[in-house]
Amino acid sequence: MAQCNGVKKDGVRCSVMVIGETQYTRCGTHVATLNKVGPNQIRRDELKYSHTRLSNTIYSNFNELFRGAQVDMLEYERQTRIRDGAIREQEIRYQLELHNLEETITRETEANGGINADRPFIERARERRRIRQDAMRERWRLRNEGWRQGIQQAAPAAGGALAQLAHDRQNVHTSVVVQKVKEMIQKVIQIPVPPEYQTETLKTSGEIILECGLSKQAAWQMMAKYCSDEDVYELGYGIYARVLNSVWQYIKASPDSADLKQILKTEMQDNIGMCAQGNLSRLCNILSGYMEGLVVDAKSKNELIGERLAQLVDIDNVDERTALGRRVLEEHDVPVEEHAIWLEPLIDI
């Protein structure tokens, strides 16, 4: 029997006694925590917890000196200097301990054949996050689709531009959106493309079909656009192929290559039946959030809200998760009576 060597978030060592032999001498709760982040990251986290507790103790002791007492300014200034000195010393100790820990982790990784012991935990966490986010996005998509259908049924009576906008699922023809898409395209085509991946070799399109597992319909449409000399947005003939060549080079070199290939596959499937402008804007959309400086603003308000809320699924505390979600809704001026519908997926995780 031994005391759990896990450190709680308040910086205090766990007091639970562990019975029997275990790999990490941790109680059930702290084994579960380790299985979420891995043996390396949990040591970093617990070191941070301990540092934060010691720093908070220094501040608490300082505050206690002057609680309810008449303050002498000279003494207050002296104690402030002592407090600040103690905080600096504690920060230096923390940085030294963290440096030693990182060196230990590096030696362990080298001894393990260069494999990070956290890798399987990171991959499992990434997969759990992807599943949760996909489920939430699907729920919001279905809800938004219901709203869109209601708008489309009411729009014909209004006629004119309102009806056109309601029925246009691509919505890439307004002047504001066109300008944004053109700016994104200019950024993307700055990505260098080797000679062997130029359009006439067809190497880019061939690799995409094979490595991304495109459907027959998606592959056909991609090849039709890729081999076309169409001038879209007055950006030059063959602009679709030029953009796709650059996008593929970014994907091949990215550490998130697997995720980006899946995104590319999804976008190609969604491109089926869309106009040339829609196809082109979706190519840029693939790299949005991955390529620095490339952010797709040409999205509906509901899509933006859904993406912001999907980022909150990793927060364990439901109250904190909900509070942050409500703040997102307030930032986008969502009526209070609609908050419950938006927040439901965050509560039911």
pLDDT tens for the 349 residues of the chain, in order:
789 989 999 999 998 888 766 677 888 888 888 888 889 999 999 999 999 999 999 999 988 887 776 778 888 899 999 999 999 999 999 999 999 999 999 999 999 898 889 888 888 877 777 777 776 666 666 655 554 454 344 334 333 433 343 344 444 444 555 677 788 888 888 888 988 899 889 999 999 999 998 888 889 989 999 998 888 877 888 899 999 999 999 999 888 888 889 889 988 888 787 777 778 888 888 887 777 666 544 445 566 677 677 777 777 788 888 888 888 888 777 788 878 877 877 776 5
| Residue-wise pLDDT tens digits, 1-22 | 789 989 999 999 998 888 766 6
Q: What is the predicted pLDDT for the residue at 348?
A: 64
Confidence (pLDDT) at 154 = 39
pLDDT at 302: 63
Angle 41-43-48 from CA coordinates, rounded to 5°: 95
Would you tell me how many other CB atoms lie within 10 Å of the CB of residue 208? 24
pLDDT at residue 168, as a whole number: 43
In this predicted structure, what is the pLDDT of residue 300? 53
pLDDT at 143: 57
Q: What is the pLDDT at residue 140?
A: 63
pTM over 0.75: no
What is the pLDDT at residue 141?
Answer: 64
The pLDDT value given to residue 172: 43
What pLDDT is attached to residue 96? 94
